[in-house]
Amino acid sequence: MIFSEEYKKKFKDLTGDEKMDMYLYEKAKTILEHRNNTELEDMYLFNVEKGLFTGVQTHSNEPEHVVYN
């Protein structure tokens, strides 16, 4: 499903910045692939107004929680 054109279209015009929209789409796929079939979470922090990626946490090991770094 996450590789379908339908899923990709959900990110079109999300922020008004095509480059940021595609970046969010790619990160969403990364998260979903990484945590597939688990109850674990990843977190990516973006400043959409400035178009900046500002943080990531992908090593949480407690179900349904993000362990902040």
Q: Note the residue count of the chain.
A: 69
Mean pLDDT of the region 34-62: 87
Which pLDDT does position 30 carry in this prediction? 93
Q: What distance in Å separates the CA atoms of residue 29 and residue 50, rounded to the nearest whole number?
A: 22
Has residue 52 been placed in a domain? yes
Ordered DSSP codes for 50-61: TTEEEEEE----
Top-confidence residue, 67 or 19: 19
Top-confidence residue, 53 or 44: 44
Which pLDDT does position 48 carry in this prediction? 73
Which pLDDT does position 54 carry in this prediction? 87
Question: Residue 40: which domain range?
Answer: 5-57
Q: What is the per-residue pLDDT across 17-36, written as a single tens digit (0 to 9) for each? A: 898 899 899 999 999 999 99
pTM listed for this prediction: 0.79
Nearest to 35 by CA among 11, 12, 58: 58
Has residue 69 been placed in a domain? no
Q: What distance in Å separates the CA atoms of residue 23 and residue 39, rounded to the nearest whole number?
A: 24
Q: What distance in Å separates the CA atoms of residue 55 and residue 69, rounded to the nearest whole number?
A: 9
Has residue 33 been placed in a domain? yes
Has residue 68 been placed in a domain? no
Looking at the 3D structure of the chain, how many domains does it have? 1
